[in-house]
Structure 1
C-alpha cells in the first residue's frame, strides 16, 4: 500500500533569489514553512520552482536545508526529473535517503519524439541505479512544456515492472479527459491533477489530490476544498478557486506568483527571476493587484512567516 501521505495538496514551491541570482536559502526555508502551516505539502523543484534554472548542486543544497530544519519529509515530493540520467539518479537518491512521500519525476525532455521504450529505459535505469526500496516516483505529465507525453501504455508498463516504486502521476496536460482515463485505467495509482481547477472533479473520481501553482499563494483555500469536498458547498468553493486562478490567466505565471508573494509577504527577494525568465513588470502587477483585491485574496500570516 502506498504511503497515505501521498495525497492532498502540494505546492511546486517558488524559489527566491538574492541580488546575485543565488537561491536565498533562508527565505526559501521560511516560505516552505509557511506553505506547510497552511496544510499543503512541498513539491519543491517543480515547474514553478524554476527547477530547470537550478543546478543539481543547488537543489541538493536547498533540500538538505529543509531536512536540517526538520521539515516533515512525509509532506515532501521533490522534483527529480532531469535530461541527464546521472542527475536524475543523484536527485532520486536524495529523496529515497530522506524517505520523502515521493519524488516528482519529469521525463527527460530535450529530445523530442522519443519512444515509450526510451522513456521506460530512462525510468528503469534510474530506479535500478538508485536501488533503494524507499524510492517512490510520481511521474510528471506536462507535454505542453516538456514536449514529452507519458502514455497510458508507458504507465502500465512501469507499474507492472516497478509496482512499489512508480506509485503516482501528476497530470498537468490541462485535459481532464486524460486525467480521468488515468483514474479509470489505474484505480490503485495516485493520480494528481495539475491545477486546482480540476480538484473537485478529480476527487469525485477517487483521485489523490492536486499539485498546483496556485498552492503557492493561497494553499489554505485549496486544502480546505480538498478536505471538505463532500460538503454541499464544495462546488461554490471550487468556483471561488477558479476565479482566483483566472486572475493569472494570460500572464507570466511564475513571475506573477513570485511578485504576489513578494508583495503580500513583504519579501522583495521573491520578485527576482533567474534569466532567461524576467521579473514581473510594475504595470502588470498593478493590474493583477486590483483583481486580487477584488477577490479578497488571503495569505494568512505570510508576512510574519517571511520576516
Structure 2
C-alpha cells in the first residue's frame, strides 16, 4: 500500500473532515451533540468530537489514495481499524466516529478509484465504482456479520429486530444516503433555504426512514419508531418551510433527550451527504483536474496543533 498521498486524495480527505465538522456544528439536531449542548449524551461533548476529528484528519486522505491505488478491501479495513484506534485514543475510549470511519471512508476510497478510472464524479458513478471494486467483499462481510455472533451494538440491534445494518447499507451502495438524504439536502439548497436549514431537512428525512441501530440500542425498537414518527411529523408539517421550524425541531430534541435517544446513524449519513455535495461542487463545477503526480508524504512530521484556530483550513 502506498505511503504517499496525492493532492487530489488530500482534497477528498479534507472534504470529509469538513463534512464531519459541519455535522457536529449543525443545530438544531435532535438528541445529538452540538456546540449548543450534549444532546442525549453524558459521556461526550463537541470538544470530544473535535479531538476525534484531529485524530482522523490523516485517515481520509490515506483511504482515498488506497482507493485510487485499487487496494483490496482487507487493506481498506486495516486503515479503518488503525483510524478507530487513533479515535479511541484521542477520545479516551469514546466512540464518536466509528460509523463515519466505515461509511465515509468507503466513499472516499470509491472517489479515489473513480478518479483513477477517469470517470466524472457523480453519485451514480460513485455507487457503481463502490460495487464493482469492493461490492463482493462488502456483501460477504454483511453475510458473515449476519451469521456470526454480533460484535457491536448496531449488529446486535439489527440481528434482534431484523433491521438493515450499516454493513448492509454499504453492501447495497448506501441506498438511504443516495436515494433520500442527498436528494433532500440538494432540494433544500436549491430552494434557497441555506446550508444550515437544508442540512436539518436532510437529517429529518434520514431519521424518518433509516434503520438507525443507535436508537434501538438506546431505546429499543420503540425508541426507533418514536424517532421515525417524530421525523415524519416534522416533515409532514412542512419541515424547514414551517415558520417556526426551529422551535419544532428543538421540541423534538428535548423529547429525544428525555428518552436518551440519539440518532447517530442518521448523523453519519448526513455527514456523508455533505461530503458528496461538497465534492460535487469542488471537483465538477470548478472543473477540477486531479494532479495525481503531486505527492505528499503523510508520515512526515507536522507542526503540533493545539486548537482548531491554528488550522482554520480544516473547518472553513
Q: TM-score range by the shorter chain?
A: 0.3 to 0.5
More helix by share: 2
More strand by share: 1
Q: Which has the higher contact order (CA 8 A, sep 6+)?
A: 2
